Structure 1
């Protein structure tokens, strides 16, 4: 983006390349640890679902 962040699906945290997940500051810019942890949790669930 123009802010230097990565665009992701907000439900899965997947980027345009479905094999890459991102979260935290690279997606939101400077944000809280709580939000980054939530992003990681969403990404982990989506990764697990994609492998099952």
Structure 2
């Protein structure tokens, strides 16, 4: 799986591709890229999942 775009180095373009694993109800992740903080979190509430990305300016 690839999270960065080889055509746009330095994380100017990237992919957020969460995997909603059974048994996990909450996940938070972050990465300090050269262009700023990239965060992704998701929360499961029953059959509903809320994804909250934070992207650099």
| TM-score with structure 1 setting the length | 0.29
Larger strand proportion, structure 1 or 2? 2
Between Structure 1 and Structure 2, the one with more helix by share is: 1
Which structure: larger Rg? 2
TM-score normalized by structure 2? Answer: 0.28
